[in-house]
Amino acid sequence: MSFVHEGSAQRFFLGVRGVFSVGSHEQRFGMGLHAALQFSKGMLSLGNDGSFYLSSWGGRTKMWESRAYFGAAWYANNSKEMGDFELGTLKNPFSRASSLGYAYLWYWDNAATQQTSGAFRGEHQGHSVYFENDFLAGQGKDRFRTATLRYRYRGDFWSVHSGIFLWTGETSGVQVLAEVVKGKTTYFKDLSNGAYGKTSHGIIHGGIRYGLKGQNLGVDVGMDSERVRNTFQNQWAHHSLWHSKNPAMAVKYPMLDRYGQPTWDSDKVRKPSPYFRLSISED
């Protein structure tokens, strides 16, 4: 449910959504409130989704979570095409204009996994890329909701997307260790004795959304693989040019075995598992 108020120079949007999902990794229900104010070349937006989870990432169960954001975006043009039918962080409810925006996010919950995060989103002619990471909020700890990267294309009442989601256990206060692996000194953290340290996710997925009377129906499928997490978190992000200046900063989080213990032995790495989700008004 939503409405748009037209002013002389600005437009105001307010939308409400009910959220429901059931799947391999998450089961939740909740409500969300999202608002946006459009200017001639930009938009300010904020929102919050409050949810109760029967189960969630990291094996968390029977928990509540509040996910709030405040964002700003710049527009390259004043497109009159239909706005985004999905609500969410930095999504444009007014038009299809090319844009680039940043949002600061807060996660609160009763499972001791509270954190802040930052996100960039760019869109051009219906194609968009969304990237969220706690580094973009000045943290860079890789803890819990480690990263989200998603490509999306939207029409007027439908969208398709693909992306990755990474989850890591508590990293704060864990000592950096050094070990020679395949002839090279590797700096890493063993999280297995910390909160959710025996859990991790490397989700690679694709999905579709279909708009229906202010809400949307969605299907997502993919897999959860330690090798996916290792590739994006350890081999790409932590071997970036930024970290190459100081190898000790390129800390790795080893892949986990079936018991949640870190391992360098590829034969002992936990096997991939299927990922799927049926949803109403999920991001």
Predicted confidence (pLDDT) at residue 1 exceeds the cutoff of 90 = no
Predicted confidence (pLDDT) at residue 79 exceeds the cutoff of 90 = no
pLDDT computed for residue 8 by the predictor: 57
Tell me the two tokens of residue 27.
Answer: 């089961």
Question: In whole angstroms, what is the distance from residue 71 CA to residue 117 CA?
Answer: 12
Residue of 43, 44, 129, 125 lying closest to 81 (CA atoms): 125
pLDDT computed for residue 38 by the predictor: 92
Predicted confidence (pLDDT) at residue 247 exceeds the cutoff of 90 = no
Counted residue by residue, the chain has a size of 283
Predicted confidence (pLDDT) at residue 190 exceeds the cutoff of 60 = yes
CB 140, CB 115: distance < 8 Å: no
pLDDT computed for residue 240 by the predictor: 66
What is the model's pTM? 0.93
9-20 average pLDDT score: 92
Question: In whole angstroms, what is the distance from residue 281 CA to residue 283 CA?
Answer: 7
pLDDT computed for residue 226 by the predictor: 98
pLDDT tens digits along 166-184: 999 999 999 999 999 888 8
pLDDT computed for residue 248 by the predictor: 59
> Mapping DSSP to helix (H, G, I), strand (E, B) and coil, where does residue 109 land?
strand
Each domain of the chain, given as residue ranges in start order, spans 2-280
Neighbours of 83 (CB within 10 A): 20
pLDDT computed for residue 31 by the predictor: 98
Q: Which of 28-42, 77-91, 201-215 has the lowest mean pLDDT?
A: 77-91
CA diameter of the chain:
67
pLDDT tens digits along 120-165: 999 999 999 999 999 999 888 899 999 999 999 999 999 999 999 9
Predicted confidence (pLDDT) at residue 197 exceeds the cutoff of 90 = yes
pLDDT computed for residue 234 by the predictor: 92
Q: Which CATH number does the domain 2-280 belong to among 2.40.160, 2.60.120, 1.10.10, 1.10.3470? A: 2.40.160
Share of the chain above pLDDT 70, in %: 92
Question: In whole angstroms, what is the distance from residue 226 CA to residue 189 CA?
Answer: 16
257-272 average pLDDT score: 97
